[in-house]
């Protein structure tokens, strides 16, 4: 199987990195250094090689190293199933622009040449957080398997916002609603199908070593079909007007997870078990992407090893290497990555005078 990897990464005025230039060979990347050194800033830059706002969901203006910086820039060379591509993403004036092989491109076009998955400390409480966070997590999974999923989500949300405005304004003319509800039904049916399909793919991917299987299910009250969803929206106008918002649709979906081996809901599991379940889901997602895309995705595993015992750390590294994935992994000390040995490229990140510096080793 072809390997997908970042083989060159250059940062300019990005977060704490005034300048960084890395040449890589496709192996996993073990990044260590003290808290606040700039490790997460480095892997955040990698996450911006995929559609969307990256692993922190940050606005473009927040990515510049200093407010007065003229703009930030991330350049990457990618080798993958479709050959070699040069990607540049920049931010000036709060916006974000993308170029692929020297030509301006939509962010959605990145999905055709690279797939990126991530697991960050902020996701550790996913099973305890709001349904909105779990929907976002599920949509990232669906996007990794169907790059046009993001367009369907955006189209649905845009139409819903406009419908909600009509509801709040107490507009009663049916003609104002029909086109918006038709769009919500079209794009909403696509969103529901992609979410359901993604969960099916993950279930088929199976377990990984000592990591527990998570049985995932979409919790929804929305009709799945376009015609049925359109009718539900039409019939619910009165109730929705009283509430001032749309009460039916995939925007109210939730993701349920059960620790399969114990039959216990994920939200009731221990912190360690919840972390292990998340890792299991990410690895299953990676295997599904590898089957579809022809290469394992680039993985970002931020501080993932800190709460794993030695056996599970070794199992995680074996799984990553077995997939042939370039995983960018961060941790506070090199001892967390001992089980990787020479299977990884080792980088140390240090901070001095507010500027991050990257060294070998």
- Among candidates 284, 302, 6, which has minimal Cα distance to 144? 284
The verdict on 55 and 145 lying in the same domain is: no
pLDDT average per 10 residues of sequence, the chain (361 residues) = 92 94 97 96 97 87 73 94 95 81 94 96 94 97 94 97 98 96 98 97 84 95 95 97 97 97 96 93 96 96 90 94 97 95 97 93 80
Q: List all residues 6 or more positions away from 26 whose beta carbon is below 8 Å from its beta carbon.
A: 3, 5, 7, 79, 326
The verdict on 110 and 185 lying in the same domain is: no
> Residue 153 belongs to what domain range?
125-290
Q: What is the pLDDT of residue 306?
A: 80
CATH code of 303's domain: 3.40.50.300
Task: Give the span between the Cα atoms of 226 and 192, in whole angstroms.
Answer: 10
Give me 161's structure tokens.
């916002």
SS3 195: helix
**Residue 162 domain-assigned?**
yes
The verdict on 158 and 275 lying in the same domain is: yes
- Among candidates 154, 145, 236, 158, which has minimal Cα distance to 193? 145
**Residue 198 domain-assigned?**
yes
The verdict on 269 and 315 lying in the same domain is: no
**Residue 120 domain-assigned?**
no
Q: List all residues 6 or more positions away from 306 whose beta carbon is below 8 Å from its beta carbon.
A: 331, 332, 336
DSSP 282-304: HHHHHHHHHHHHSSPPEEEETT-
User: Between the CA atoms of 55, 58, 61 and 64, what dihedral angle is there, to the nearest 10 degrees?
Assistant: -40
CA distances from 89 to 54, 63, 65, 95, 99 (A): 12, 12, 15, 10, 6
Give me 309's structure tokens.
């015992």
Name the pTM for this structure.
Answer: 0.93
- State the pairing for strand pair 17-23/298-301: unpaired
Q: Domain ends where: 290, 314, 336?
A: 290
The verdict on 241 and 266 lying in the same domain is: yes
What's the Rg (C-alpha) of the chain? 21
**Residue 361 domain-assigned?**
yes
Element (H, E) at 219: strand 214-219
> Are residues 283 and 208 in contact, defined by beta-carbon separation less than 8 angstroms?
yes
User: Between the CA atoms of 123, 190, 89 and 303, what dihedral angle is there, to the nearest 10 degrees?
Assistant: 10
CATH code of 195's domain: 1.20.1050.90
Q: Give me the number of domains the chain comprises.
A: 2
83 half-sphere exposure, CB direction, 13 A CA radius: 4
Q: Domain ends where: 256, 272, 290?
A: 290
**Residue 57 domain-assigned?**
yes
- Among candidates 240, 252, 243, which has minimal Cα distance to 177? 240
- Output helix, strand, coil percentages for the chain, rounded to the nearest 5: 45, 25, 30
* Residues in a beta bridge with 104: 99
Q: What is the pLDDT of residue 71?
A: 81
**Residue 199 domain-assigned?**
yes
> Are residues 99 and 127 in contact, defined by beta-carbon separation less than 8 angstroms?
no
- Edge-to-edge, what's the strand order for the sheet holding 5-14? 17-23, 5-14, 72-80, 83-91, 97-100, 103-105
Q: What is the pLDDT of residue 91?
A: 83
> Are residues 332 and 35 in contact, defined by beta-carbon separation less than 8 angstroms?
yes
The verdict on 132 and 272 lying in the same domain is: yes
> Are residues 300 and 328 in contact, defined by beta-carbon separation less than 8 angstroms?
yes
The verdict on 143 and 176 lying in the same domain is: yes
Task: Give the span between the Cα atoms of 112 and 91, in whole angstroms.
Answer: 22
- State the pairing for strand pair 97-100/298-301: unpaired
Q: List all residues 6 or more positions away from 61 whose beta carbon is below 8 Å from its beta carbon.
A: 91, 93, 94
């Amino acid at each position: 199987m072809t390997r997908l990897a970042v083989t060159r990464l250059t940062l300019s005025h990005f977060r704490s990195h005034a300048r960084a230039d890395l040449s890589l060979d496709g192996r996993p990347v073990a990044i260590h250094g003290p808290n606040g050194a700039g490790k997460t800033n480095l892997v955040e830059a990698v996450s911006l090689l995929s559609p969307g706002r990256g692993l922190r969901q940050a606005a473009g203006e927040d990515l510049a190293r200093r407010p007065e910086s003229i703009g930030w820039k991330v350049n990457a060379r990618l080798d993958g199933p479709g050959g070699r591509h040069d990607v540049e993403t920049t931010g000036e004036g709060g916006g974000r622009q993308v170029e692929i092989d020297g030509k301006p491109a939509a962010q959605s076009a990145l999905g055709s040449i690279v797939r990126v998955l991530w697991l960050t400390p902020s996701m550790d409480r996913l099973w305890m957080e709001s349904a909105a966070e779990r929907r976002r997590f599920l949509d990232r999974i669906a996007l990794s398997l169907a790059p046009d999923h993001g367009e369907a989500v955006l189209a649905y949300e845009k139409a819903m916002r406009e419908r909600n405005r009509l509801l709040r304004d107490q507009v009663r003319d049916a003609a104002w609603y029909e086109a918006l509800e038709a769009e919500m039904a079209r794009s909403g049916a696509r969103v529901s199908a992609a979410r359901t399909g993604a969960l099916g793919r993950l279930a088929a991917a199976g377990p990984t070593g000592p990591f527990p299987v998570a049985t995932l299910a979409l919790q929804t009250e929305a009709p799945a079909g376009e015609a049925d969803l359109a009718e539900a929206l039409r019939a619910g106008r009165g109730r929705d007007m009283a509430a001032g918002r749309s009460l039916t649709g995939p925007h109210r979906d939730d993701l349920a997870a059960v620790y399969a081996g114990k039959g216990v809901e994920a939200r009731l599991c221990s912190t360690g078990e919840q972390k292990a379940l998340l890792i299991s889901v990410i690895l299953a997602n990676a295997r599904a992407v590898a089957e579809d895309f022809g290469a394992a995705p680039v993985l970002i595993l931020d501080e993932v090893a800190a709460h794993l015992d030695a056996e599970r750390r070794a199992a995680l590294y074996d799984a990553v290497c077995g997939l042939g994935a370039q995983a960018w992994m961060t941790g506070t000390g090199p001892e967390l990555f001992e089980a990787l040995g020479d299977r990884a490229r080792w980088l140390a990140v240090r901070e001095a005078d507010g500027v991050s510096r990257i060294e070998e080793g």
